[in-house]
Amino acid sequence: DYELCEEWGRLYPVPREDLISLHREHLLHLLEMGNMEKALQLLQRIEDPAVCLAISEQSLDQHPNLAASHFLADYLTAHFNASLTTARRNDIQALHIGSKVLLTLPELSRVNYFHLSSRPLLMLEQLLMNMKVDWVAVAVQTLHQLLAEQEIGFTVEDIDSLLSKYAEKALNFPFTLKEKRS
């Protein structure tokens, strides 16, 4: 049905907002089905870059699943980085990095941290509070690699500071140990 509507839109004038809505729904449908190749082809068929940007941003704002969010953040970063405001670019890059960190977690646990996908530093802190040290190690390694490639709202020093803070708390004993005498 989406393809029929798209064909109709090429033959007859369709208002811009309706065209954006159609493509957005089609894109989200393809992404929910896991068909990233067809989603990419759909975006490449759209001739007007402003329409393509609007569709991609609106789709991302719908908060689709992890794979779809990662795809859209990656696409927006790769194709429209210069067209985005600094705040929006930082938000999208944070989501892109957060989704990559989420992908390093065990599949069954991702749903517990998905709501933090746009806040990778907070996700790292949540993992620390939940005592998921092995997961934190992989997440930190991934973050270090990603932060070397791009600038975002936090730095490697912020990650190190967070790790130091929780390491200090782990060693803080609220009571004194008494010696037993025999």
Please report the DSSP string for 90-159 in residue order. HHHHHHHHHHHHHHHS-GGGHHHHGGGTT-HHHHHHHHHHTT-HHHHHHHHHHHHHHHHH---SS-HHHH
pLDDT at site 59:
92
Contact 120, 140 (CB under 8 A): no
The residue extents of the domains of the chain are 1-84, 89-170
pLDDT tens readout for residues 54-82? 999 999 988 888 889 889 998 998 898 88
Task: For residue 30, name the pLDDT band (cuts at 50, 70, 90).
Answer: very high
pTM above 0.75, yes or no: no
pLDDT at site 55:
92
Spell 46-62 as b/e; 16+ CB within 10 A means b: beeeeebbbbbbbbbee
Q: What is the mean pLDDT of residues 166-176?
A: 72
* 34's tokens: 């896991």
Contact 66, 99 (CB under 8 A): yes
